[in-house]
A and B are shown apart, each in its own frame.
Chain A
Amino acid sequence: MSTPANQGKLAERAGMLPAALFVAAFLLVPLGLVVAYSFMPANSFGGVDPGFSTDAYRNVLYEQRLDGSFRLSAAYLLIVWRSIYVAGLTTLIVLAISLPVAIYIARQVPRRRTFLLLMVTIPFWANILIRTFAWILLLRDTGVINGFLTALGVISSPLPLLNTTGAVLVGLVYTFAPFMVLPIYGRMERLQQSQLEAAHDLYANRWQVFRHIVWPAALPGVVAGSLLTFIPCLGSLIAPELLGGGKQMMLGNLIYRQFSEARNWPFGAAIAVLLLVIVALIGLVQVYLARRKFAGKVA
Chain B
Amino acid sequence: MLDVTHALELDLVRKTYGDPLHGHQALTGASFHVKDNEFFTLLGPSGSGKTTLLRLLAGFESTTSGEIRLYGKPIQSLVAEQRPVNTVFQQYSLFPHMTIAENVGFGLKMQGRPAREVAARVEEMLALVKMEAFRNRRPAQLSGGQQQRVALARALAPKPKVLLLDEPLSALDLKLRQAMRLELKQLQAKTGITFVFVTHDQEEALAMSDRIAVLADGVIQQVGGPREIYDRPANLFVADFIGDNNFLKVEVLSRQGATAMVRGAGIEAVQARDAAQGASQGTLMVRPEALHLSAGEGRVRFAEKARVLADIYLGNALTYVTALPDGTHLNIRDEDARRAAKPIAEGQTVEVWADAEAPMLFDGAGK
Q: Could you tell me the distance in whole angstroms from the C-beta of A286 to the nearest C-beta in chain B?
A: 18
B218 at the binding interface (Cβ < 8 Å): no
Q: Contact check, A212 vs B106: say whether CB atoms are below 8 A apart.
A: yes
Q: Contact check, B80 vs A197: say whether CB atoms are below 8 A apart.
A: yes
Stretch at the interface among A32-40, A58-66, A200-208, A254-262: A200-208
A100 at the binding interface (Cβ < 8 Å): no
Q: Could you tell me the distance in whole angstroms from the C-beta of B164 to the nearest C-beta in chain A?
A: 9
Residue positions of A touching B, CB distance < 8 A: 192, 194-195, 197-205, 208, 212-213, 216-217, 297, 299
Residue positions of B touching A, CB distance < 8 A: 58-60, 79-81, 85-87, 89, 91, 93-95, 97, 106-107, 110-111, 136, 138, 154-155, 158
Contact for B80 among A192, A201, A212, CB less than 8 A: A201
Given contacts A192-B91, A200-B81, A205-B110, 18 further A-B pairs with CB under 8 A are: A195-B93, A195-B95, A198-B87, A198-B89, A199-B95, A200-B59, A200-B79, A200-B80, A201-B58, A201-B80, A201-B85, A202-B81, A202-B106, A202-B155, A202-B158, A203-B110, A213-B95, A297-B138
Majority secondary structure of chain B interface residues (helix, strand, loop or mixed): loop
Q: Contact check, A201 vs B87: say whether CB atoms are below 8 A apart.
A: yes
In this complex, the member of A194, A202, A216, A297 whose beta carbon has the largest number of chain B beta carbons within 10 angstroms is A202
Q: Could you tell me the distance in whole angstroms from the C-beta of B326 to the nearest C-beta in chain A?
A: 52
Please list the 4 inter-chain residue pairs (A to B) with the smallest Cβ-Cβ separation, ordered nearest first.
A202-B107, A200-B80, A203-B110, A194-B93
CB-CB under 8 A from A212, the residues of chain B are 95, 106, 110
Q: Contact check, B93 vs A204: say whether CB atoms are below 8 A apart.
A: no
A29 vs B95: C-alpha distance in the bound complex, in angstroms?
Answer: 46
Q: Could you tell me the distance in whole angstroms from the C-beta of B141 to the nearest C-beta in chain A?
A: 9
Contact for B107 among A195, A203, A205, CB less than 8 A: A203
Q: Contact check, B95 vs A201: say whether CB atoms are below 8 A apart.
A: no
Q: Contact check, B93 vs A192: say whether CB atoms are below 8 A apart.
A: yes
Majority secondary structure of chain A interface residues (helix, strand, loop or mixed): helix
CB-CB under 8 A from A197, the residues of chain B are 58, 60, 80, 87, 89, 93
A197 vs B95: C-alpha distance in the bound complex, in angstroms?
Answer: 11
Residue of B nearest to A201 (CB): B87
Q: Contact check, B97 vs A216: say whether CB atoms are below 8 A apart.
A: yes
Given A212-B106, A217-B97, A299-B136: A205 touches B81 (CB 8 Å cut-off): yes
Q: Contact check, B158 vs A194: say whether CB atoms are below 8 A apart.
A: no
CB-CB under 8 A from B155, the residues of chain A are 201-202
22 A–B contact pairs at CB < 8 A?
A: A192-B93, A194-B89, A199-B110, A200-B60, A200-B79, A200-B81, A201-B60, A202-B106, A202-B107, A202-B110, A203-B107, A203-B110, A203-B158, A204-B81, A205-B81, A205-B110, A212-B95, A212-B106, A212-B110, A216-B97, A217-B97, A297-B138
CB-CB under 8 A from B87, the residues of chain A are 197-198, 201
In this complex, the member of B59, B94, B110, B155 whose beta carbon has the largest number of chain A beta carbons within 10 angstroms is B110
